[in-house]
Structure 1
Amino acid sequence: LSAVLIALLVLVNCKLLLLLPRRQQIAGVWIELFALLMLFFYSFDLSFAFIARKVGFLITQGVTTTLYISAISILIATTIALVGAIAKLTGNGIVYGLATFYTSLFRGLPLLMQIYIIYLGLPQVGYVIGAVPAGIVALSLCYGAYMTEIFRAGIESIPRGQSEGATALGLSPGQTMALVILP
């Protein structure tokens, strides 16, 4: 009975809104949806005074944690990407295969799925990891794979004459990579 009453109320509301000009229809819908949203939240037994007291601290803590996770993830992802890019450029088939598999897997798997696998899947096989470390690992692996391709493309874009000049100066391949190509 209450469902029928609600359906009739919605129908009457729609009919009344259709009588208004388009701009007023949109404003009316927004106002009604906002009111319903507020009623929905007020139906919970929330202590708004407690939330108001803690909101500053909670936002500060959230921003700090986000910046911490982001900074650590960027450092780790950059390291992974550099190693992966160099691995993709080597002549060793095994190393190239591992690097290609890594980049294909982590670029093809959605980040949310990676987070679920690391945070919820690893405990199923005995590796319990906290929320923050799981976030760092997931972000590092995901963005390390993307950055691997960026670094590889950047290294390959260096003109051949640069490495030939470094060889002519007597630099080893490792020195050439560290002193000429990567900078």
Structure 2
Amino acid sequence: MYEFSLRAISSYLGLLPGAVVVTLWLSILTILLSTVVGIIGVLCRVSRLLALRFVGTAYVEVLRNIPLLVVIYLVFFGLAQLGLLVNGFNSALIALTLNAGAYMTEIFRGGLVAIPRGQYEAARSQGMTAAQLYRYIVFPQVFRIIYAPLGNLFIGIVIGSSLASVIGVEELATWMHLVGDQSFRYLEVFLVAALVYVGLAQGINVVRLATGHVLLRSAPGGGHR
């Protein structure tokens, strides 16, 4: 009869920290790069130039409607077929960034369009420059609006990084599969991996709440909404 025992996989736990570090590093880089992509994307989406709006809209609609796994395969195998040899980690990073960047673009756009046009007109009537308008009126409000969705997206990036295992990136999900196949203690291994993912997600949530509290308080008109 099966007996649950974490001790049965204790000899494999020494490999776990390294896998977690890879997961975190991949996730952090994705967050940073997708933020840049999101800023570029939203500038295209709200541009007065029709061509830029089309590019921004097409990017968002295409990437949001392709499964992340397919994007990873397209980048990894597609680039190789074109003669561009990119390792698994960088391929996963490119795919995750493209995917998350599309969602980041929409989060940023949602924050911008939520600001009533009347506030722009009122600020201009008071003689505010464009820099003052965005510094004191737009950005503080946008941050309050996108604060929660960004936190959810960051957690989604960490969880989505598990798909990097399909192209050989030695992150947490890869550790889970390898140890499960070697020890045949799938329940214990998957449970440990699940708890680690929960811990990472909660860690992101704690950081989000802490930094959000500081930034919201320090912003003009600060305070939580």
CA displacement 1:27-52 (0-9 Å, x = unmatched): xxxx6xx69xxxxxxxxxxxxx9x85
2-structure distance, mates of 1:135, 1:127: 14
Count of residue pairs brought into register by the alignment: 135
2-structure distance, mates of 1:126, 1:59: 34
CA displacement 1:77-110 (0-9 Å, x = unmatched): 1111122112111110010011011111111111
Residues 95, 115 of structure 1: alpha-carbon distance in 2 compared, 3 angstrom cutoff? same
Residue 128 of structure 2 aligns with which residue? 170
1-structure distance, mates of 2:102, 2:49: 19
Give TM-score, length-normalised by structure 2: 0.54
Residues 119, 76 of structure 1: alpha-carbon distance in 2 compared, 3 angstrom cutoff? same
CA displacement 1:134-180 (0-9 Å, x = unmatched): 111111110110121121111000122321233232313x6644553
1-structure distance, mates of 2:135, 2:36: 14
Query: Structure 1 stretches of 5 or more lacking a match?
Result: 1-30, 36-48
Which structure has more relative contact order (CA 8 Å, sep 6+)? It is 2
In structure 2, which of residues 51, 55, 76 is the aligned counterpart of residue 98 of structure 1?
Answer: 55
Matching of residues 22-171 of structure 1 within 5 Å: 53=11, 55-168=12-125, 169-171=127-129
Secondary structure of 1:129's partner? Answer: coil
Query: Structure 2 stretches of 5 or more lacking a match?
Result: 141-225
1-structure distance, mates of 2:45, 2:73: 28
Residue 26 of structure 1 aligns with which residue? none
Residues 176, 95 of structure 1: alpha-carbon distance in 2 compared, 3 angstrom cutoff? farther
User: Which amino acid is 2:128 matched to?
Assistant: G
Percent of residue pairs bearing the same amino acid type? 33
Q: Note the aligned Cα RMSD (angstroms).
A: 2.2
